[in-house]
Amino acid sequence: GAVVSQHPSWVICKSGTSVKIECRSLDFQATTMFWYRQFPKQSLMLMATSNEGSKATYEQGVEKDKFLINHASLTLSTLTVTSAHPEDSSFYICSAREQQAYEQYFGPGTRLTVT
C-alpha cells in the first residue's frame, strides 16, 4: 500500500516551453501533497505544499508564477514548469500524505532536462 507515482519519469523540453509533471496517490487519498526539487548530490528542497482544493503554499524564493501547482483531486497533483530554462533542469520529487497522518510517501521522481 501507500504507493505514489509520477509521470513522466524523464522529460526533455526546449527552453521557453512548459512542461507538466503529474503526481498520483494510487491507493490512498492524499489531502496534502508536497513538491521537492533535488540538484545532483544535494538534499531535497521543498518547493511547495498543496492541499486538495486549495492554493499551494510556496516556500520562500520559489516563483509561484513559474512553478504552477494544482491539487484538484485527492489523488492527483500537478506541477507545471512554465517557460522553462536550462537552470530549471533538475530532479523533481513529489510526496503525498493522508489526512491526519504524519508520514509522507514519496514518488519515484521526474528528471527534467531543459535544452
Partner 1 sequence: AQTVTQSQPEMSVQEAETVTLSCTYDTSESDYYLFWYKQPPSRQMILVIRQEAYKQQNATENRFSVNFQKAAKSFSLKISDSQLGDAAMYFCAHQLNFGNEKLTFGTGTRLTIIP
Question: Does residue 13 bind partner 1 (CB under 8 A)?
Answer: no
Stretch that binds partner 1, among 10-18, 32-40, 67-75, 76-84 (CB under 8 A): 32-40
Cβ-Cβ contacts under 8 Å for 13 (sequence gap 6 or more): 19, 84, 112, 113, 114, 115
DSSP label at residue 59: P
Instruction: Candidates 7, 11, 13, 44: give the one binding partner 1 (CB under 8 A).
Output: 44
Q: Copy the grid coordinates of residue 56.
A: 499551494
Q: Copy the grid coordinates of residue 42.
A: 544535494
CA distances to 60, 105, 115 from 17, rounded to whole Å, are 24, 30, 10
Q: Binding string to partner 1 for residues 80 to 99, with x set by CB under 8 A, is what?
A: -----------x-x-x----
Stretch that binds partner 1, among 17-25, 40-48, 68-76, 80-88 (CB under 8 A): 40-48
Question: Does residue 113 bind partner 1 (CB under 8 A)?
Answer: no
- 88: helix, coil or strand? helix
Stretch that binds partner 1, among 22-30, 62-70, 78-86, 101-109 (CB under 8 A): 101-109
Q: Specify whether the CB–CB gap between 11 and 110 falls below 8 A.
A: yes
| Interface positions with partner 1 (CB under 8 A) | 32, 34, 38, 42-44, 46, 49, 51, 91, 93, 95, 102-104, 106, 108-109
